[in-house]
Structure 1
Amino acid sequence: MSKMSWIYGLHTVEALLNTEPERVLELQAMDTREDARLNPLVKQARQLGLPVSFRDRNALDQLAEGGRHQGIVARIRERQAGDDNDLQELLDGLSVPPLLLILDAVTDPHNLGACLRTAEAAGVHAVVCPRDKAVGLTPVVRKVACGAAELIPFMQITNLARTIKQLQERGVWVVGTSLGDGAKPFYDVNLKGPLAIVMGAEGTGLRRLTAELCDHLAYIPMAGQIESLNVSVATGVALFEAVRQRSR
């Protein structure tokens, strides 16, 4: 049986109502009835046959556990992680060049949550992680992701090396972030076609085999004294450089 949780925020709730309304169980909105931002969501939920109730700000604050709920929260069935087969099925169904984020053994739930939030904002089609020696969709991850964990496909695969090879066989260009020899500045790499960006684990970076399998290695040029960024921050820089190139 699927677990239940609360998501919040105008964009997050609206996105789930539009894409997977069957996962939404109920809506709770601020008791300011004339709010032009909330009324369309309330109307949409009622048209879908969902129960809607109105609460004061304190009640919504408790449900959102201090998050910025913008006057609306929804109780939903949590999205479960997909697997290797789900990833291939997702790719089969895309009509545009895929944009994937691969996280190589990221273990900090706060980092994974932040990466999911950034990936959803960048329009990533799926986030891929190894099943072993990496964090999954924990309650902390879901909270930090601010609803993104319920919107973006999250795949836990059994063999990352095999998955990278399968992506390459599909024509997906695999670009890993690294400070090692042979790495190019990230802004000099063509990111416009079918693409998977691979980010390394906290502290250790990409594992050796993962780096060897990448088509290109790239680094984010740094102007200061610090040589590297937190993985979630680096993920944002890398993904939105891809977004910039792909939108031109």
Structure 2
Amino acid sequence: MNDDKKSGSAKDTHYARLRRAHRDRKAGGAAPRPRPSSGEPGSAPPEGRVYLYGLHTVRAAIANPDRTIHKLLATRNALARLEIADIDALPCAVELAEPRAIDRIAGGDAVHQGVVLETEPLAPKPLSALGDTRLVVALDQVTDPHNVGAILRTAVAFGAGALITTARHSPSESGVLAKSASGALEHIDLIAVRNLAAGLESLHQAGFFTVGLDSEGPDELEASLEGQRIALVLGAEGKGLRQKTRATVNRLARLTMPGPIHSLNVSNAAAVSLYAAQRHLAKR
């Protein structure tokens, strides 16, 4: 048989299969596809739960006693890399899954490293939970979960005790946010306030000196820090701090930029500011 006949035969077979499949569907003879139940590949997380992914993120979440976890899905290799001493002791179901199944849950662009955790999100705490922490970060409607996650990671690295956000106009806990935080979500208090200006006033009453970061601020950050408790306040990309927030903080300060660019991404600005604040507090 020549190549043309082989090609034609293959096409005929292919189209015959399609016709049979179409005929079966019309006749109701094809077996229905199984509907994925909650937690199975292709399904959204059950109501009130989130999917976290990535080795650092999942490992930290499992180790957090405040977490309520329901299911761990991992490839065989990822499960080994999690280095869990006793799998049977985990307070949740553990299922081995193929990488493609993890892809369907986390999303094709997610760097999940072969592991997904189904869990309930951490409950935000009130301002009264601050305790004796000396350094906090407050965000004024920063909505990008990548930025918030990166800020969380830096805040934990520099010993901040809490991240304060507004109940609205802030990203909820998600796989993207948690992956960007690289486990930091489990090591810091998340505090939600209804009104940021009112929350800042409460911080003042608790002895915090609040500094709002503004590229046009009248003073340099290092010279603006006072006291033994510091709250750094950062605004959203583009919009910056809202007028009410600017009027409420103790001081507006800028990061001095000697180069031709005079502003930073909010997560980078948070990192530089936290470094300066921690150095100030270390001297006290």
When normalised by structure 1's length, the TM-score is: 0.76
Code of the aligned partner of 1:29: A
Query: How is 1:1-248 mapped onto 2 (pairs within 5 angstroms)?
Result: 3-20=48-65, 22-32=67-77, 35=80, 37-39=81-83, 41=84, 43-65=85-107, 66-82=109-125, 86-88=126-128, 90-92=129-131, 94=132, 97-132=133-168, 134-137=169-172, 142-146=175-179, 148=181, 151=186, 152-180=188-216, 182-184=218-220, 186-190=221-225, 193-243=228-278
- Aligned partner of 2:15 in structure 1 is none
Q: For residues 190 and 242 of structure 2, what CA distance do their matches in structure 1 show?
A: 21
**1:127-171 deviations in whole A, cap 9, x for unaligned?**
222335x234175xx414417485343333122222112112211
Aligned residues of 1:29 and 1:38 also touching (Cα < 8 A): no
Tell me how many residue pairs correspond in the alignment: 234
Structure 1, 198-207 or 238-247: larger mean CA deviation: 238-247
Q: For residues 192 and 204 of structure 1, what CA distance do their matches in structure 2 show?
A: 28
Aligned residues of 2:67 and 2:122 also touching (Cα < 8 A): no
Q: For residues 218 and 239 of structure 1, what CA distance do their matches in structure 2 show?
A: 13
Aligned residues of 1:8 and 1:146 also touching (Cα < 8 A): yes
**1:151-198 deviations in whole A, cap 9, x for unaligned?**
3433331222221121122112212112345322x3445478322110
Aligned residues of 1:110 and 1:144 also touching (Cα < 8 A): yes
Q: Note closer, same or farther for the CA distance 1:243–1:100 as it changes in structure 2 (3 Å cut).
A: same
Code of the aligned partner of 2:253: A
Q: For residues 166 and 67 of structure 2, what CA distance do their matches in structure 1 show?
A: 28
Aligned residues of 2:144 and 2:171 also touching (Cα < 8 A): no
Aligned residues of 2:145 and 2:176 also touching (Cα < 8 A): no
Code of the aligned partner of 2:198: R
Aligned residues of 1:8 and 1:147 also touching (Cα < 8 A): no
State the 1:102 CA deviation. Answer: 0.8
Code of the aligned partner of 1:53: E
Q: For residues 273 and 209 of structure 2, what CA distance do their matches in structure 1 show?
A: 14
State the 1:77 CA deviation. Answer: 0.9
Aligned residues of 1:7 and 1:147 also touching (Cα < 8 A): no
Code of the aligned partner of 2:257: M
Gaps of 5+ in 2: 1-45
**1:42-69 deviations in whole A, cap 9, x for unaligned?**
x345223422222233333333323333
State the 1:21 CA deviation. Answer: 5.7
SS at match of 2:95: strand
When normalised by structure 2's length, the TM-score is: 0.68
Q: For residues 59 and 20 of structure 1, what CA distance do their matches in structure 2 show?
A: 28
Q: Note closer, same or farther for the CA distance 1:228–1:110 as it changes in structure 2 (3 Å cut).
A: same
